[in-house]
Amino acid sequence: MKKIVNLIVTAGLIGLAAVSCQKPANTPDDNTPGTLAAPSLTADPASVVVVPGSDELAIAFAWNDVVKEGITPVYGLQLTRKGDAEFASGTAFECAEPQKTFSHAELESLASEIGASVDEGFTLIARVRVTAKDNKDIAAVFSNTVEVAVSKEQYAIENIYPIGNGTPYGWSQDNTVAMDKSGSTFTWTGHLYANADIKFLLQNDGNWWPGIVNKSDDPFTYDPVIGYDDSVDKKFKVSEEGKYTVTIDAANTNALKIKFEFIDKDEQELVVEHLYLLGDATPAGWSLDNMPEFTKNGDVFTWEGPLTEGGEFRFPMQRDWWPCLMIAMDGETLVKGVGDDDKTGFTVDESAIYKIECNVATMKAGITKTGEIVAPEFPTLYMCGDATPYGWTASMTEESQLKPENTGNVNVLSWTGALTAGGTFKFLTKNDWIPSYNRDENADEYWTLVYRETYDDPDVQFSVSEDGTYKVVVDLDAMKVTCTKQ
């Protein structure tokens, strides 16, 4: 009896084993009626280095078509980042064909959609979900899962240079120095000015890009990124002046890290080697190239020339916008500024010839009227206005300049070029809006000139009635203009 029982048990185990080795009845394959087979998914390539903004092919997903008689498969390519095993934070694309491709630009957009970062790099996870078209009773099946490593090309940083009016170097590439480099870490220790712009160049060969700028709109939130043009030119600032150590971690140049570490107050002695004159109250206007330089005698700098009433002026210490010395509101004290937030409001009471004296040891200034401004006898004139090809710009160019006529009279000048009806024009005497020669609205003759000395004088211009090429002749002796269509 015991043998019979053992035989029965043994037979039962053998039968169970036989059933366990068989594929379950509801596991779909090509031989199971009314079911879908799971496709096999591939990705090419298995790793992608993204080229930002490129429309070139980055990656191609492909799988075998599992269509079978009586069933039309519908494919959904599901994508997410590694760590989301359930594809809960991913996205999906319905595909009419058993394939799907992405360009580099599309891959960038996809990364943002699934909460990943191309800059930091991530692993893309993909699978295909297959359903039967117009038949909800057939269960969905999934392909195998594939992984694709996604990264962004690293920028090879050899040197980093601090620059800006928040640094001791101003905006001078000639003055800036390279940060100390140890592996992929760059450090610099020095004086930084409060509330002034700071950025970093990757070269000091005269080029301004690429460079390291701030991704954040808030200059006190430090989110460094490599920028390639002026559209991303956001700066860093520190809130307290003093000595700092700046550290840039460039181990991943797509995810740079920066730290500004305050050390101490580090009071700086002011050293001035050069002083220039800049502003719309000055003869050079806002032209850095044309700025007149003060005469230096020890700690005392002097300059004499015309200043225009109501205009702004300051004294750059190099041929750049900042840093500058300025005369404070009291008209006596010199103050140093490193950015637009430091500008003072001192102006002269009237247009005249002035002598300016700046003592950089005592930080005192003196400004004395020494004469009257006389209209120049033989000024150089430039066409300006929206009727001209140059528009409303005070920039002086060879093309916009009126040249002396071959008459032996240097007070007669001419220009030939296109003028547009509906626009107006006048004549500038320098790289600024005043003084200028305008139309005299009180004269009986339309083409009569008047010398406009200040902004309070009427700013009346000339115009033509139809488009064309014109020869414009200015006679400064007669204060007349002739405008002849060619």
Looking at 152, 179, 199, the residue that finishes a domain is: 152
Distances (CA, A) of 391 to 8, 285, 299, 394: 105, 18, 43, 9
Are 466 and 441 members of one domain? yes
CATH code of the domain containing 85: 2.60.40.10
Are 209 and 147 members of one domain? no
Are 136 and 180 members of one domain? no
Residue pLDDT tens, the chain, 486 long: 333 333 333 333 333 333 333 333 334 455 566 788 999 999 999 999 998 889 999 999 999 999 888 888 999 999 999 999 889 989 999 998 999 999 999 999 999 999 998 888 899 999 999 999 888 889 999 999 999 999 888 889 999 999 998 998 888 898 899 999 999 999 999 999 999 999 999 999 999 999 999 999 999 999 999 998 999 999 999 999 999 999 999 999 988 999 999 999 887 777 788 999 998 888 778 888 778 899 999 999 999 988 888 888 999 998 888 889 999 988 999 999 888 888 887 888 888 889 999 999 999 999 999 988 765 555 689 999 999 999 998 878 888 999 877 544 667 889 999 999 999 999 998 888 988 999 999 999 999 999 998 999 999 999 999 999 999 999 887 899 999 999
**Predicted local confidence at residue 191, as pLDDT:** 92
Cis peptide bond N-terminal to 323, omega within 30: yes
Handedness of CA 392, 397, 399, 405 (dihedral sign): positive
Pairing of strands 185-192, 180-182: antiparallel
**Predicted local confidence at residue 374, as pLDDT:** 63
> Residue-wise over 191-216: b if at least 16 C-beta within 10 A, else e?
bbbebbbbbbbbbbeeebebbbbbee
> Does a structural domain hold residue 436?
yes
> Does a structural domain hold residue 290?
no
CATH code of the domain containing 214: 2.60.40.3620
> Does a structural domain hold residue 210?
yes
Are 235 and 319 members of one domain? no
Contacts of the segment 401-409: beta carbons below 8 A, 24+ positions apart = 402/427, 402/472, 402/474, 405/473, 409/477
d(CA 61, CA 63): 7
> Does a structural domain hold residue 25?
no
> Does a structural domain hold residue 29?
no
Are 321 and 367 members of one domain? yes
Looking at 100, 132, 152, the residue that finishes a domain is: 152
**Predicted local confidence at residue 289, as pLDDT:** 78
Looking at 94, 123, 152, the residue that finishes a domain is: 152
Task: Count up the domains in the chain and report the number.
Answer: 4
> Does a structural domain hold residue 30?
no
Residue 455: closest CA among 355, 322, 308, 345:
308
**Predicted local confidence at residue 220, as pLDDT:** 97
> Does a structural domain hold residue 230?
yes
**Predicted local confidence at residue 179, as pLDDT:** 97
Are 394 and 364 members of one domain? no
**Predicted local confidence at residue 30, as pLDDT:** 52
Residue with tokens 């015991």: 2
**How many residues are present in the chain?**
486
Are 100 and 118 members of one domain? yes
Domain ranges, residue 419:
382-485
Are 349 and 425 members of one domain? no
Are 252 and 310 members of one domain? no
Are 145 and 170 members of one domain? no
